[in-house]
């Protein structure tokens, strides 16, 4: 039998001053406010602890006018995870809000799709519109880790640990990957930015930053399949509703740390 895991969503930042124009590429009521949250995710059981994405720090938050509640390492400490001891980090993609602070993880190996590294270091980055969501220092930091043998590349589907697999779910970025985790409640899919909000996948409305619409729409179907057909087990990467639908880890972490391996109340 496969191993099962606890999954924690750790909210570390928000972007409150945001409208639906920023979140959907299709025609919509663009003027209405629609804030988003920023997360990193911890996957753990008695055998191992993994991290999905590393978030961004104070300097990056200031640069991009985001509100940082806590640096990701700080919030990790609150759930008993020491960034310096984490051995496995899965990077969903290299956008600034998912791949900062890499040097804090001195013992880690980093799992990423080949296509994402090729995209973030290739000719598309000559175009301002394409490179906007990337921060060159983050990308360079990961390139250095390639040269020190600390990057594990995947091409499509790959196993990271028993019961934990990565799946290429491109569309938003070229080599985006989502993470499927076995839990006592069935397979849970950490979609990351394969769907920022529930509304992106539920109404088949791609996010404003999309490099391939066709791939994005195929990805929505794939995410549902990976979750065993249960939409409640597909977790969007930036939706404030995640903290309403899944229970808090502890009463005092309401709104900050929530359990994704427990059933969601979809409402
Ligand atoms: Zn992204
Ligand atoms: Zn993102």
How would you write 75-125 as a 3-class SS string?
HHHHCCCCHHHCCEEECCCCECCCCCCHHHCCCCEEEEEHHHHHHHCCHHH
What is the structure's pLDDT at 1?
A: 61
For ligand 2, the distance from its centroid to the CA atom of residue 237, given in whole angstroms, is: 6
Among all ligands shown, which has an atom nearest to the Cα of 208?
1
For ligand 1, the distance from its centroid to the CA atom of residue 78, given in whole angstroms, is: 26
Phi, psi of 43 (to 5 degrees): -120, 125
Strands (E), 132-230: 151-154, 158-161, 164-168, 177-183, 186-192
* pLDDT confidence bin for 40, thresholds 50/70/90: very high
Among all ligands shown, which has an atom nearest to the Cα of 194?
1
Tens of pLDDT, residue by residue over 174-207, are: 999 999 999 999 999 999 999 999 999 999 999 9
* pLDDT confidence bin for 267, thresholds 50/70/90: confident
Among all ligands shown, which has an atom nearest to the Cα of 209?
1
Closest listed residue to residue 9, CA positions, set 258, 235, 262: 258
Tens of pLDDT, residue by residue over 134-180, are: 999 999 999 999 999 999 999 999 999 999 999 999 999 999 999 99
Residue 30 has pLDDT above 90, yes or no: no
For ligand 2, the distance from its centroid to the CA atom of residue 238, given in whole angstroms, is: 7
Closest listed residue to residue 97, CA positions, set 5, 151, 34, 176: 176
**63 CB neighbour count, 10 Å cutoff:** 12
Contacts of 10 (CB under 8 A, 6+ apart): 39, 40, 41, 42, 72, 75, 76, 79, 256, 257
Q: What DSSP designation does 15 have?
A: E
The neighbourhood of ligand 2, an ion, using CB within 5 A, equals 97, 193
Tens of pLDDT, residue by residue over 56-68, are: 999 999 999 999 9
Tens of pLDDT, residue by residue over 97-126, are: 999 999 999 999 999 999 999 999 999 999
For ligand 1, the distance from its centroid to the CA atom of residue 46, given in whole angstroms, is: 31
* pLDDT confidence bin for 131, thresholds 50/70/90: very high
Q: What DSSP designation does 206 have?
A: -
In DSSP terms, 41 is beta-bridged to 9, 52
The neighbourhood of ligand 1, an ion, using CB within 5 A, equals 95, 193
Decide which of 31 and 76 is more confident. 76
The predicted model gives 16-28 an average pLDDT of 85
For ligand 1, the distance from its centroid to the CA atom of residue 2, given in whole angstroms, is: 30
What is the structure's pLDDT at 264?
A: 96
* pLDDT confidence bin for 29, thresholds 50/70/90: confident
Contacts of 247 (CB under 8 A, 6+ apart): 258, 259, 262
Percent helix, strand, coil in the chain, to 5, is 30, 25, 45
For ligand 1, the distance from its centroid to the CA atom of residue 262, given in whole angstroms, is: 26
d(CA 194, CA 209): 11
For ligand 2, the distance from its centroid to the CA atom of residue 96, given in whole angstroms, is: 8
Percent of the chain, pLDDT > 70? 99
What is the structure's pLDDT at 27?
A: 66
Cα-based distances in Å from 233 to 73, 159, 171 = 26, 19, 20
Is the pTM value of this prediction over 0.95?
yes
The predicted model gives 124-131 an average pLDDT of 95
Tens of pLDDT, residue by residue over 78-104, are: 999 999 999 999 999 999 999 999 999
What is the structure's pLDDT at 2?
A: 81
Among all ligands shown, which has an atom nearest to the Cα of 38?
2
d(CA 202, CA 236): 11
For ligand 1, the distance from its centroid to the CA atom of residue 169, given in whole angstroms, is: 12
Strand order across the 158-161 sheet: 158-161, 164-168, 177-183, 186-192, 234-236
Phi, psi of 121 (to 5 degrees): -120, 10
For ligand 1, the distance from its centroid to the CA atom of residue 244, given in whole angstroms, is: 22
């Amino acid at each position: 039998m496969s191993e099962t895991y606890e999954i924690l969503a750790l909210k570390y930042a928000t972007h409150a001053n945001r409208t639906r124009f920023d979140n959907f590429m299709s025609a919509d009521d663009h003027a209405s406010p629609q804030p988003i949250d920023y997360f990193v995710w911890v996957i753990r059981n008695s055998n191992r602890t993994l991290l999905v994405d590393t978030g961004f720090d104070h300097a990056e938050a200031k640069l991009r006018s985001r509100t940082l509640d806590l640096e990701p390492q700080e919030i990790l400490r609150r759930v008993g995870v020491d960034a310096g001891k984490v051995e496995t980090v899965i990077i969903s993609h290299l956008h600034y809000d998912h791949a900062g602070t890499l040097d804090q993880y001195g013992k880690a190996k980093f799992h990423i799709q080949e296509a994402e590294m090729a995209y973030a270091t290739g000719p598309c980055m000559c175009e301002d519109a394409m490179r906007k969501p990337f921060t060159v220092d983050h990308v360079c930091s990961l390139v250095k880790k390639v040269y020190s043998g600390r990057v594990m590349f995947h091409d499509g589907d790959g196993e990271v640990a028993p019961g934990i697999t990565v799946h290429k779910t491109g569309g938003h970025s070229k080599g985006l990957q989502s993470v499927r985790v076995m839990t006592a409640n069935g397979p849970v899919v950490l979609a990351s930015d394969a769907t920022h909000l529930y509304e992106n996948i539920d109404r088949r409305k791609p996010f404003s930053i999309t490099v391939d619409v066709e791939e994005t729409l195929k990805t929505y179907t794939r995410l549902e399949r990976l979750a065993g057909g249960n939409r409640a087990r597909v977790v969007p990467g930036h939706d404030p509703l995640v903290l309403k639908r899944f229970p808090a880890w502890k009463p005092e972490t309401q709104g900050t740390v929530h359990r994704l391996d427990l059933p969601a109340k979809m409402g």
